Amino acid sequence: MNDGYQSIYDTLKSYFGYDEFRPLQREIIEDTLGGRDTFVLMPTGGGKSLCYQLPALHSKGLVIVVSPLIALMKDQVDSLNEIGITATFLNSSLDPQENEHRKDLVRRGAVKLLYCAPERLLIPEFLSFVSKLPIAYFAIDEAHCISEWGHDFRVEYRQLSILKKRFPKTPIIALTATATTRVADDIVQQLQLKSVKRYKASFNRPNLTYLVRPKQETFDELIGFLKSHKDESGIIYCMSRDSTERLAEKLKAKGFKALAYHAGLDSKLRSKNQELFIRDKVDIICATIAFGMGIDKSNVRFVVHYDISKNLEGYYQETGRAGRDGLPSDCLLFYSRSDKIKIERFIQDISDPKIAQHQRLALAEMCNYAELTSCRKSYVLEYFGEEMTQSNCGACDNCLGITNRSAKVDLTIEAQKFLSTVIRTKEGFGAGYITEILMGEDNDRILHNRHHTLTTFGIGKDHKKKVWHHIGQELEREKYLVRYGEYGVLRLTPKAKTAIESKSPIWLSAIPDRAKKELREQKSRTAIADMPEMNAKLFDVLRGVRSTIAAGRDVPPYVIFHDTVLKQMTALLPETIDDLLKLSGVGKKKANDFGHFFITAIAEFRTGHTEIRTVELKQEEPVAPKFKETAFESISLFAKGKTIEEIAIERRLSKATVAEHLGDGLLTGVINSLDRLVATEKTEKIRKALIETKAIFLKPVMEYLNDASISYDEIKFVRAFDNRNTNIKKY
C-alpha cells in the first residue's frame, strides 16, 4: 500500500469503515509507523486495537501481537479477516498440521498480523522462528499484565523484557485499558522501551451510567434491573464460583437466558458457555473475573457487580466491557461492608507485606467509590489522573439524584435504637445480629445469649430489615460506629457517645425507597429506544439477518456489523451499496460481501410497512482538544516571546517536549502563526516535500529535502499548522 499520510485515512475508510480517527489514534499510528516505541493507555471501547492493526497495512513486514487469551485472538483474527486484512494466530488450540500450515503462511509473507500468547512467544523454538522474519513491530495488548502492581499480573508477561534484548531495533507498542501512573511506569521499565512516547486518552465514557445499590433484597433488585434490559446482553460478576452457578440457576428459573462461567468449569463447557454468549444465543453470563478480558463483544448493554471488586482498576475495566459500540449502557454495583471484610480475609493470607498493603489501599479506594455521595465518574477520572470538566456528569446515580444520599433527614430515633442495642450487647456483635434483635427474631443465637430479654428486642418491627441495614451503614459512614476484627464487630465512637449524652439530633441519608423504585421502573436503554415503533421493529429484523450471516460464516454477530451500524440502517433505510458505504463502520469488503442481504431485508420490510420513514440521527458535537496544564505553560511562555530553548531551560524540560507542546498549539489553532517557529523560505520547501512524498513519517521528508538546515521539529510544525482545526488532512 501507499505509505502516504493521506492514505491512512483511505485505509481507515475502506477497511474499517470510518471517516475520522478517534482522539489520539492518528498520532499513535504516526509514531508506530515512524519506528518509535509507544505506550498507549486508552479505556475499553476507546479504539486501542485499531492503533496497531491499521499501521500493519502501511508497514513492510509482519506485526506480532501478544495477546493473553485464545478467545480474544480468535475474535480479533475473525474480525480482521472479515474486512480483508490477513491475520492469523498460533496457539494450543491448533493441531500440529494446522500449526505448521499457518507458520508457512507467515514465512511466505501472506500474513500481516500474527497473534500469539506470551507463553508461546517466550519458547526458545518460537523465538528462533520469529527471529528469521521481517518484523515491523511488536504490539503488547493488555500490557497491565506486565506489572506486579497491576490488577491482573501474569508472570509470563513480565518475561517479555527479552524482546528488546533479542530485537533491539524493533519498535514496541504497549497498550492497556487501565493503569495508574505507577503501573504505567512499571510497564515502560519492564519492556525497556526507548525514547517512548506515552499516550493517555480520556477515561470518560459518556455512554456508560454508573449505579451503586446497597445489598438489600439484592436478587429482587437485580430482577427489576434486568427487566429494563429485556433481551439484551449483559455480564454479572460474582465473587465466588459457587455464586455464579447459583445465580445463573435462579435467573433461569425466572425466565432469563443465563449461564455460569468460572475457571472451575470443565474447559469445554466453559468455552461453550462463552461462545453461546458471544453469539447472542444467551443473554446473561454470570461469571467470576476470569471472564471478560478475552471478550470483544460490542453490544454488551449492562455489567452488574453482584459483589464488590477488589480494586478500582479491575472494576473500571470490567464495567468498560459494556457499551463498546458507544451506545447507552448501564453499570450496576451492589455493595455491602461484609464483602469488604471477605476480601480483607484473603489479603491477610498474602505473605508479601508490600503486596498486601497495596491491595488494602486498593480495596479502600474501591469502598470509597461505593460510598460516595458525590459524582462517581469524577472520582474514577481523578483516580486515573484526569480532571472532570463539569460538576455534574449526568451519568451516575448521585448526579442523577437516584440515590438521594445527599438529602439528609432526621433519623435520631432510629439511630438511637440502633446505637442503644450495640451498647446493650456490650459492643460484641456485628450489624446483622443487631438488626435481628431490633426485628425481634427469637433464633437460637439470640435465645442462647438471652438478648431476647433486652429492652430493645423487637422495638424495630415497624421497619423492614433493609431499613435497619441502611441505618447501620449510615452510622458507620457518618463515623458514629466503627468495625473491629474479621467478624465486623461494631463499637461506638466518641462522636456517638457525645450524641447520646447530649441527646443531639442525628441526621443521616434518607432511606432509599425511591432508589429502588427508580431502579425497577427505569426505562429501557436499548440501542433503538429513541426510534419510532416501525424503525425499532426493523432493527430486530436486521439483527436476525446479521445472526444468519454470522452463523453461516462461523463468527459472532458483532463481527458482521455492530449495533451502531444496524441503528444507522434502521434510521436511514439505505437502498444501495453506495448508501451503505456512507454509514460509519461499513467498509468496502463488508458492503460487497453481504450488504445486499441487509438492503433486501430493508426493502422487503418497507413494502409491508409503507408508513416507515427515515429518522434523523443525533450527531454529537466533537469535543475540542484539551491541553494538560503543562502544555499551556509552555504555550503561554511562547506567547510571551520566549524561544523553545529558553522555555526548556526555565521549565527544566527537554526541547523535544516543549516542541511537542507547541505543535499541539499549532494543530488546535491556539498558536495561529508559524513565523517564529519556521522561516518563510523553509515553510514553502517543507510544504512541497510533504505534498510530494505524502509521507506519514518524517524520514522520507528529510531525505527528499536533503537540507541540513531544516529540523524534524520544523517539519512537524508546518504539518500541524496546515492541518489545524480541520477534518480534511492535507498531508
Which alpha helices (H) appear in 349-464, and where do they start and end? Answer: 353-370, 376-383, 397-400, 412-424, 431-438, 444-448
Q: What is the 3-state secondary structure of 263-320?
A: CCCCHHHHHHHHHHHHCCCCCEEEECCCCCCCCCCCCEEEEEECCCCCCHHHHHHHHC
Per-residue model confidence (pLDDT) at position 528: 60
Per-residue model confidence (pLDDT) at position 728: 39
Element (H, E) at 581: helix 577-581
Q: Cα(98)–Cα(101) distance, rounded to whole angstroms?
A: 5
- Closest among 530, 384, 341 to 42, alpha carbons compared: 384
Per-residue model confidence (pLDDT) at position 725: 46
Per-residue model confidence (pLDDT) at position 486: 61
Q: Which residues of 626-637 are buried (b: 16+ CB within 10 A; e: fewer)?
A: eeeeebebbbeb
Count of all residues that appear for the chain in the document: 731
7-200 and 208-391 agree in CATH topology: yes
CATH superfamily of 208-391: P-loop containing nucleotide triphosphate hydrolases (3.40.50.300)
CB 601 within 8 A of CB 539: no
CB atoms within 10 A of CB 237: 27
Per the prediction, the chain carries an average pLDDT of: 84
Q: Cα(623)–Cα(283) distance, rounded to whole angstroms?
A: 34
- Closest among 234, 376, 372, 352 to 301, alpha carbons compared: 234
Angle at 398 between CA 411 and CA 363, to 5 degrees: 90
Q: Where are the domains of the chain?
A: 7-200, 208-391, 408-509, 533-608, 629-722
CB 490 within 8 A of CB 426: no
Which phi and psi (to 5°) does residue 282 adopt?
A: -130, 135
Question: For 533-608, which CATH class?
Answer: mainly alpha
> Which residues are CB-neighbours of 625 under 8 A, at least 6 positions away?
23, 664, 667, 668
Q: What percent of the chain has pLDDT over 90?
A: 35
CB 367 within 8 A of CB 333: no
Residues forming beta bridges with residue 509, ordered by sequence position? 408
Question: For 408-509, which CATH class?
Answer: mainly alpha
Q: Would you identify the CATH topology of the domain 7-200?
A: Rossmann fold (3.40.50)
Task: Give the mean pLDDT per block of 10 residues along the chain (731 residues).
Answer: 61 88 89 92 85 93 88 84 93 88 93 92 91 94 81 79 92 89 88 90 86 86 89 92 94 95 86 88 88 72 93 89 88 88 86 84 88 83 76 79 61 91 93 92 91 92 85 86 79 91 82 47 53 87 92 87 90 92 89 93 92 75 45 80 87 76 79 87 88 68 85 85 57 45
Q: Which three cell numbers stand for residue 200?
A: 493517555
